[in-house]
Amino acid sequence: MVSVEEASRIILRQVSPLPGEEVALLQAAGRVLFENVRASRNVPPFANSAMDGYAVRWLDVARASATDPVTLSVLEDVPAGYVARRRVTKGNATRIMTGAPVPRGADAIVRVEYTEFIGDRVRISRVDGQGSHIRGIGEDIQKGRPILKKGKLLTSADIGLLASVGKSRVRVYRRPTVAIISTGDELLEVDDSPQPGKIVNSNSYTLSAAVQEIGAVPHLLGIVRDKRKSLASAFKRALHYDVVITSGGVSVGDYDLVKGALLDVGVRMALWRVAQRPGHPFAFGRMGSKPVFGLPGNPVSSAVSFLLYARPALLKMMGYKSFFLPVIHATLEHEIKKTKGLKEFIRCCLREDDGRSFASSTGTQSSGVLHSLSLAQGLIVGKEEETLLPKGSQVPVILLRHQGLLSGELGF
C-alpha cells in the first residue's frame, strides 16, 4: 500500500503531454497553446486617432487658448476605415473619427470638445500637446515580437490577441479521449426501470461530467458485467482511447477480476491500494503510453480518486503545468474522528468570516453517500498519523468549487 503522495508521483511520472493539433481559433479557447506565437503584423497596423476631433500640425495650434483661439480650414472628413486623401498642410486641419488613420502631415489630434465648427473652418481653443491622442503603429503589439508562449492556457483575451494579428488557426495540445466503463452485475442504465437488487450506474455520469469539466473528451462505454472475459473484451475496446477509466471491481473481494482482465489485455499494473479514505482500493497501470485507472465502485470513492489522480493526469496530458486543486487552510468548526494510518478526505462546507475560512463536515462520510459530496465545497485533509482533528484546529482543505468563486455582490 502506498501513500497518497507516492501514488500521485507514480502516476504523474508515467503520464506525458499529448502532441499538438491545429485548430480554428475559437476552438482554442480554454486549451493550452502548443506553439510560441510571434506577431506577424503590427497592432494597430497604422497610427490612428484615439479621439473624435481634428488632425492638425502641432506648430499651427501650439499656442491656442480659450482667449486666443486658432482657426484652421477643414480639408476633409476621415471616418474609421478610410484613408485621408490629402496631406495636412500649414493652416489646415482634417476632421477625424476614432480609429481613422492619422493623415500625412498631422502630428496631433485636437479633441472635438475643444473645437467649434464654423462653415468650413474650425476654431480651436485648447490643445493637449504634440502627438496627443495618436495611437502609434505597433503600440499594442510590435511585428516580430513574441506575444504568447507555449504552455499558456488560452483565455478569451488571448484569443482576441491572436485574432488581432490575423492568426486564424493555432496549435494547441490535443485533448485526451477518455473511455469510461462501469463494472458490476448490480448496475442498471439511467433510463432502466428499477429492479430488485439493482442500482443505477451513477459513476459513469459523475466521471464523464468530471472529465468534461476540465475539457477532456469522455466516451461512455456503458456497463460491463463481473466476468473476466466480458471485462477483458470491454477493456480491449477501451484501449482505442487515450485514457481508460473503470469503476468498481477493485475492492479486496473482487479486485482480481478487474486486475486479471487488465492483465489479460496487456496492461502493466503500477499500483493498487492507496492509504486513504475514501478510495482505498484503486488500481493504476499503463498500456504503452495510455494510462488506465481502476477506480473503486463506491460513488464517493471513485469521484475522490478521480479528483486526486485522474484529473491531474488528464490536465498534464492537455499541456497544463499546474494540475492540482487549490488548497486553503480553514478552522474546524467541530471535532472529527479519523482512522490512524489513512489519509482522510472529509467532505465539508466552507464559510468565510472576517477574512478567515471555517470548515464543517457535510454529514455522513460513508463512501456510498454521493449526496454529501454534492453538498461539499471542499475536502478536509486529515493526515495519516492523526486520529482526531480537534475543534478550532487549522486544517488543509482542497477546494472543489474553485471555479465557482463567484460572489452574490459586486464586492468592491
Residues that bind ligand AMP (CB under 6 A): 182, 184, 186-187, 199, 201-204, 247-251, 254, 296-299
Residue 187 CB, nearest approach to ligand AMP (Å): 5
> For residues 155 and 366, which CB has a smaller minimum distance to Mg ion in the complex?
366
Looking at this protein, which amino acid is placed at residue 85? R
Residue 292 CB, nearest approach to ligand AMP (Å): 16
Helix (H, G, I), strand (E, B), or coil: what is residue 55?
strand
Residue 279 CB, nearest approach to Mg ion (Å): 15
Identify which range of 146-154, 180-188, 304-312, 338-346 contacts Mg ion by CB under 5 A.
180-188
> For residues 8 and 182, which CB has a smaller minimum distance to ligand AMP in the complex?
182
Residue 360 interface partner, choices ligand AMP, Mg ion, none, CB cut-off 5-8 Å depending on type: none
Cis peptide before 44 (omega within 30 of 0): yes
> For residues 203 and 365, which CB has a smaller minimum distance to ligand AMP in the complex?
203
> For residues 88 and 224, which CB has a smaller minimum distance to ligand AMP in the complex?
224
All three cell numbers of 260: 486479471
Residue 383 CB, nearest approach to ligand AMP (Å): 26
In sequence order, which residues have a C-beta less than 8 Å from that of residue 327 and are 6 or more positions away?
381, 396, 397, 398, 399
Nearest-5° Cα angle at 294, 258 to 289: 105
Q: Which residue has the cell 507555449?
A: 150
Looking at this protein, which amino acid is placed at residue 91? G
Residue 303 CB, nearest approach to ligand AMP (Å): 10
CA distance 137 to 142: 8
> For residues 170 and 370, which CB has a smaller minimum distance to ligand AMP in the complex?
370
Rounded to the nearest angstrom, the gap between the alpha carbon of residue 93 and the centroid of all alpha carbons in its chain is 50
* 9-13 long-range Cβ contacts below 8 angstroms, 24+ apart: 10/270, 10/271, 10/284, 11/270, 11/271, 11/284, 11/291, 11/309, 11/312, 11/313, 12/312, 12/313, 12/316, 12/323
The residue with its CB nearest to ligand AMP is: 297
Residue 164 interface partner, choices ligand AMP, Mg ion, none, CB cut-off 5-8 Å depending on type: none
296 binds Mg ion (CB under 5 A): no
Residue 408 CB, nearest approach to ligand AMP (Å): 34
> For residues 140 and 186, which CB has a smaller minimum distance to ligand AMP in the complex?
186
> For residues 197 and 411, which CB has a smaller minimum distance to ligand AMP in the complex?
197
Residue 62 interface partner, choices Mg ion, ligand AMP, none, CB cut-off 5-8 Å depending on type: none
Residue 201 CB, nearest approach to Mg ion (Å): 11
Residue 299 CB, nearest approach to ligand AMP (Å): 5
297 binds Mg ion (CB under 5 A): yes
All three cell numbers of 374: 454534492
Residue 242 CB, nearest approach to ligand AMP (Å): 21
Q: How many CB atoms lie within 10 A of CB 9?
A: 12
> For residues 298 and 372, which CB has a smaller minimum distance to Mg ion in the complex?
298
CA distance 245 to 376: 23
Q: How many CB atoms lie within 10 A of CB 91?
A: 12
> For residues 138 and 299, which CB has a smaller minimum distance to ligand AMP in the complex?
299
Binder to Mg ion among 184, 218, 296, 319 (CB under 5 A)?
A: 184
Q: What is the dihedral of CA 319, 321, 326, 329, to 10 degrees?
A: 170
248 binds Mg ion (CB under 5 A): yes
Crossing angle of helices 228-238 and 255-264, rounded to 10°:
50
Number of residues interacting with Mg ion: please give it, by CB under 5 A: 4
Q: How many CB atoms lie within 10 A of CB 157?
A: 8
Residue 299 interface partner, choices ligand AMP, Mg ion, none, CB cut-off 5-8 Å depending on type: ligand AMP
Q: Where along the sequence are the contacts to Mg ion (CB under 5 A)?
A: 184, 248-249, 297
